[in-house]
Amino acid sequence: MMRASSRAAARLAALATTVAVALASAGVRADAAGEARFFDELARRAFAERRHADALRMFLLSHAAAPSPGTLYNIGVVAMASGEPALAYTHLAEYVAVARGDDARRADATRRLAALSPRLATVSVTSDPPGATIVIDRAELGTFGRAPRTLVVEPGPHEVTLSLADHESVRIPIDATRGTTTTAHAALPRLRGTLAVSARPEHATVEVLQDGPVVARAPAWVAGCTEPCRTIALPVGRYLVRVQAPGFVRSEREAVVRAGATEHVHVVAREAPVPVGRLLVHTGPVSARLFVDGRARATTPAAIDVPAGARRVRVEARGFVPWEGTVEVRAGRSRLLDLGPRASRGLRRYPSSTRGR
């Protein structure tokens, strides 16, 4: 009965492998959770029957279908039983790094790592910023995940290469020793390009922002030229160039700085609209000329738009004493100036002795 059971399990394992290869080659992705459970069941059955190599293979397929901390732990345990210390250490170390909760299992994984360490040469790889792709020695050997990560390597000299999009790659020589964890850390400089800026009006303030904060501002540039006046080296990425000046509407343009290239940006701020109010002037039956701030504007009765604020108004009519005063006009509001003869401050005729002046 046991022999038949073993043969059945072997057939199931062979079938699982065939299904996985077929799915991969056809570009078809089955339900990830269902696929992972299928391989997990095969792995547990094989482990119960002490077929550790088969169990290890099935757990690896389960993790490839749907990665999980629990499967990482299982791979580490089965790899130890299969005589694969390097594979065991790698997966147990990753489990300890990502697992949350289950303190008993984490403690067991930590004990296993301590037991494996004297037999292995390991390297702890970190990068700033995190997430750099790790290559050991030669790129054609493939990548080893992303930093931060602890890896098992052969004792001796190696070269760790860290690569990250929009950053310079960094190579780190190491000398790995059995029973020791070697550190490989590097800060990856951002690739840089050049931003060339010009702006209008002449007195404009120019600012360059990235994700909110200002990273550069005038007088780094000479504002007010039609060709780029100044350039600045910046890390690659997206920026916002802002131009503002009193009496002008703030203007902004996006700029993308690319590695080894110059991005030219010309930003023009347009004049801000002047807030206005409505001035209504009534002079009754008398027709008069209306002057605002020294300029002839209309003949009464008049309703004109004027800049908001204190306006100097003068009204002239033949035979009447000119009226002159300051009128406060509020933005978006109408202001009535009643200068009819019956109004308290209306136009007054010249005395008869001076009429016609």
What is the model's pLDDT at position 165?
93
Fold of 276-354: Immunoglobulin-like (2.60.40)
* Between residues 28 and 76, the one the model is more confident about: 76
Question: What digits encode the pLDDT tens for the residues 59-83?
Answer: 999 999 999 999 999 999 999 999 9
| CB neighbours of residue 275 within 10 Å | 12
Mean pLDDT of 300-320: 94
Which residues fall within 8 angstroms of residue 353, CB to CB, at 6 or more apart?
none
- Give the separation between CA 185 and CA 174, rounded to whole angstroms: 10
- Give the separation between CA 235 and CA 256, rounded to whole angstroms: 10
- Burial, 14: exposed, middle or buried (Cβ in 10 Å; 0-12, 13-18, 19+)? exposed
Which residues fall within 8 angstroms of residue 120, CB to CB, at 6 or more apart?
85, 86, 89, 152, 178, 179
What is residue 325's three-state secondary structure? strand
- Chain mean pLDDT for the chain: 86
Question: What digits encode the pLDDT tens for the residues 167-216?
Answer: 999 999 999 999 999 999 999 999 999 998 888 887 888 899 999 999 98
Which residues fall within 8 angstroms of residue 273, CB to CB, at 6 or more apart?
none
Mean pLDDT of 306-314: 95
Q: How confident is the model at residue 344 (pLDDT cuts 50, 70, 90)?
A: confident
What is the model's pLDDT at position 16?
43
Q: State the DSSP H helix or E strand holding residue 48, giving kind and residue range, or none if neither.
A: helix 32-48
Mean pLDDT of 10-19: 43
In the block, residue with structure tokens 């999980």: 68
> In this structure, are residues 324 and 313 in contact, taking their beta carbons and an 8 Å threshold?
yes
What is the model's pLDDT at position 102?
83
- Give the separation between CA 26 and CA 18, rounded to whole angstroms: 12
Q: Which amino acid, 125?
A: V
> In this structure, are residues 158 and 176 in contact, taking their beta carbons and an 8 Å threshold?
yes
Give me the half-sphere count of Cα atoms (radius 13 Å) on the Cβ side of residue 146: 7
Asked whether the domain spanning 276-354 has the same topology as the one spanning 192-268, the reply is: yes
Q: Which amino acid, 349?
A: R
pTM summary value: 0.58
> In this structure, are residues 164 and 132 in contact, taking their beta carbons and an 8 Å threshold?
yes
Q: How confident is the model at residue 223 (pLDDT cuts 50, 70, 90)?
A: low
Which residues fall within 8 angstroms of residue 24, CB to CB, at 6 or more apart?
none
- Among the residue ranges 58-62, 73-77, 108-112, 339-343, the one predicted with the least confidence is 339-343
Give the CA-trace dihedral at 288, 289, 292, 295, to 10 degrees: -170
Q: How confident is the model at residue 280 (pLDDT cuts 50, 70, 90)?
A: very high
> Nearest 5°: CA angle at 43, between 40 and 44?
90
| Percent of the chain topping pLDDT 90 | 66
- Give the separation between CA 295 and CA 292, rounded to whole angstroms: 5
- Give the separation between CA 19 and CA 62, rounded to whole angstroms: 13
Decide if pLDDT at 224 tops 80: no
Domain 192-268: which CATH number of 1.10.1200.10, 2.60.40.10, 3.40.50.1110, 3.40.1190.20? 2.60.40.10
Give the CA-trace dihedral at 220, 223, 228, 231, to 10 degrees: 0
Decide if pLDDT at 139 tops 90: no
Does the 120-189 domain belong in CATH 2.60.40.1120? yes
Q: State the DSSP H helix or E strand holding residue 206, giving kind and residue range, or none if neither.
A: strand 205-209
- Give the separation between CA 241 and CA 223, rounded to whole angstroms: 12
Delimit the domains of the chain by residue range: 120-189, 192-268, 276-354
- Give the separation between CA 316 and CA 281, rounded to whole angstroms: 12
> In this structure, are residues 235 and 257 in contact, taking their beta carbons and an 8 Å threshold?
yes
What is the model's pLDDT at position 230?
75
> In this structure, are residues 284 and 341 in contact, taking their beta carbons and an 8 Å threshold?
yes
**In the numeric block, which tokens belong to residue 191?**
């690739």
**In the numeric block, which tokens belong to residue 294?**
């020294």
